[in-house]
């Protein structure tokens, strides 16, 4: 019998491959997409440009960006049968509807079974363009309204908000959504990208790998945190009540404060500062400063956790931004997926480019050599 292998529970600190997509330094709080600082991208870029950067590996020229933008705009419309599927499953959670709709899209994509680089890029662009249409169409359908067809004269972020509300968003709202998508676009071997890579590593197709990613994102320890944070803010109700809330939660060690802590960042998540600024600015301009004030009060109560490396993550302020944009809480996870889709596709492309089946081991901890007892003697 072989000797016991060392355990890497949760694959913590395991480096499973190389990547050129994102660089993360969790001790210094650094995040780069293809070498570019998240802070520069947040300040100067657009989601469309970040999509190009991630999928094609470099910043686009003006013409390259215009061409990608045109392809994305042209690919926004869903096949009618996929809208029918959304109608059928409309009572499900929006992230489950997104997962189901992506599965259904595989039946209509001309490239589903084509694993060539060009085909995977075409599918990546199409899924990036189709995601917002799915989420917005579902939200309209479940409210008894007809889906709003996408507008090809609006940016990716503005068109999403337009399809949700049926009217064009303010520049401030569109910019907040665009920023959110940029910040969520890519993040190394996070749980959902890892899961997508596992599926891709079996030489399965892109749609299947993305379905895996969506299912993995759903959990509150990953993409579900923003929704949980806003639920918490609503429950707290006013900044003065934050102290009692945090103390009460801490009585049970299993009760984590959502939006805090990260597997990789042991200092503040570099993405959080941009959502913090946006949450504050939006709250002030919409005369709803209380949400930011409540979150700030929670952050203050959590100060003592900093010495344990637990700081706010990107999702701590994201929920309040979505809430201020008038977005229902159960759309927060799908919105994370809308931002993350180019990152998932990029990770899958990297996996396919130099593939090896991802297949770790488990250490068996059960009994050995038990005597089989026939059913009639048990």
Find the length of the chain. 378
Q: Does 256 bind ligand ACO (CB under 6 A)?
A: yes
**150: phi > 0 → left, psi -120 to 50 → alpha, else beta; which?**
beta
* Cβ proximity to ligand ACO, 162 vs 260, nearer residue: 260
Q: Does 182 bind ligand ACO (CB under 6 A)?
A: no
Shortest separation between residue 89's beta carbon and ligand ACO, angstroms: 25
Q: Does 194 bind ligand ACO (CB under 6 A)?
A: no
The site for ligand ACO, by CB under 6 A, has a size of 18
Closest to 298 (Cα-Cα) out of 252, 229, 251:
229
Q: Does 100 bind ligand ACO (CB under 6 A)?
A: no
Query: Residues 178, 227, 315, 350: which binds ligand ACO (CB under 6 A)?
Result: 315
Active centre residues (catalytic): 222, 262, 315
Only one of the segments 77-85, 128-136, 261-269, 342-350 lies at the binding site for ligand ACO (rule: CB under 6 A); that segment is 261-269
Burial class (CB in 10 A: 0-12, 13-18, 19+), 45: buried
203 and 88 Cβ atoms separated by less than 8 Å: no
Query: Residues 130, 313, 346, 351: which binds ligand ACO (CB under 6 A)?
Result: 313
Distance CA 104, CA 106 (A): 5
Distance CA 313, CA 183 (A): 11
Distance CA 156, CA 174 (A): 9
Shortest separation between residue 266's beta carbon and ligand ACO, angstroms: 10
Shortest separation between residue 24's beta carbon and ligand ACO, angstroms: 12
**3-class secondary structure, 238:** coil
Q: Does 306 bind ligand ACO (CB under 6 A)?
A: no
Q: Does 262 bind ligand ACO (CB under 6 A)?
A: yes
Interface mask toward ligand ACO for 8-37; x: CB under 6 A: --x---------------------------
Q: Does 310 bind ligand ACO (CB under 6 A)?
A: yes
207 and 297 Cβ atoms separated by less than 8 Å: no
Instruction: Walk across the sheet containing 36-37 and list its strands.
Output: 22-25, 30-33, 36-37
* Cβ proximity to ligand ACO, 283 vs 319, nearer residue: 319
160 and 132 Cβ atoms separated by less than 8 Å: yes
* Cβ proximity to ligand ACO, 307 vs 363, nearer residue: 307
Only one of the segments 24-32, 44-52, 161-169, 258-266 lies at the binding site for ligand ACO (rule: CB under 6 A); that segment is 258-266
Closest to 316 (Cα-Cα) out of 230, 192, 214, 221:
230
Query: Residues 94, 150, 169, 261: which binds ligand ACO (CB under 6 A)?
Result: 261
* Cβ proximity to ligand ACO, 150 vs 339, nearer residue: 339
Burial class (CB in 10 A: 0-12, 13-18, 19+), 144: exposed
Distance CA 16, CA 19 (A): 10
Only one of the segments 84-92, 129-137, 151-159, 305-313 lies at the binding site for ligand ACO (rule: CB under 6 A); that segment is 305-313
Query: Residues 39, 71, 93, 222: which binds ligand ACO (CB under 6 A)?
Result: 222
Query: Residues 148, 175, 257, 295: which binds ligand ACO (CB under 6 A)?
Result: 257
Distance CA 210, CA 344 (A): 7
Q: Which residues bind ligand ACO (CB under 6 A)?
A: 10, 221-223, 225, 256-263, 308, 310, 313-315
């Amino acid at each position: 019998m072989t000797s016991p292998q060392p355990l890497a529970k949760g694959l913590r600190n395991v480096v499973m491959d190389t990547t050129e997509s994102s660089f993360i330094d969790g001790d210094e709080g650094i995040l780069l997409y293809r070498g570019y600082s998240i802070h520069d991208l947040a300040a100067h870029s657009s989601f469309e440009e970040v999509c190009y950067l991630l999928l094609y590996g470099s910043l686009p020229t003006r013409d390259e960006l215009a061409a990608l933008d045109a392809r994305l705009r042209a690919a926004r419309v869903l096949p009618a049968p996929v809208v029918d599927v959304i109608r059928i499953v409309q009572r499900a959670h929006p992230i489950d509807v997104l997962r189901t709709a992506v599965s259904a899209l595989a039946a209509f994509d001309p490239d589903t079974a084509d694993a060539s680089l060009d085909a995977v890029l075409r599918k990546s662009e199409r899924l990036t363009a189709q995601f917002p249409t799915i989420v917005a169409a579902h939200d309209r359908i479940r409210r008894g309204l007809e889906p709003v067809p996408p507008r090809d004269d609006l940016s990716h972020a503005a068109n999403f908000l337009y399809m949700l509300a049926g009217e064009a968003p303010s520049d401030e709202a569109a910019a907040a959504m665009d920023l959110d998508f940029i910040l969520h676009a890519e993040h190394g071997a996070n749980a959902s990208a890892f899961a997508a890579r596992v599926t891709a590593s079996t030489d399965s197709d892109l749609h299947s790998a993305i379905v895996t990613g969506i299912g993995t994102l759903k959990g509150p320890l990953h993409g579900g945190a923003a929704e949980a944070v806003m639920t918490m803010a609503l429950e707290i109700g006013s900044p003065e009540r934050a102290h009692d809330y945090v103390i009460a939660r801490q009585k049970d060690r299993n009760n984590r404060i959502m939006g805090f802590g990260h597997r990789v960042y042991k200092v503040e998540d570099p993405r959080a500062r941009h959502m913090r600024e946006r949450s504050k600015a939006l709250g002030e301009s919409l005369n709803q400063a209380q949400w930011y004030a409540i979150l700030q009060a929670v952050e203050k109560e959590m100060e003592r956790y900093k010495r344990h490396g637990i700081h706010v993550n990107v999702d701590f302020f994201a929920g309040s931004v979505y809430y201020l944009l008038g977005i229902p809480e159960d759309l927060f996870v799908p919105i994370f997926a809308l931002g993350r889709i180019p990152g998932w596709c990029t990770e899958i492309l990297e996996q396919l480019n130099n593939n090896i089946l991802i297949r770790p081991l488990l250490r068996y901890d059960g009994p050995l050599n038990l005597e089989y007892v026939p059913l009639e003697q048990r």
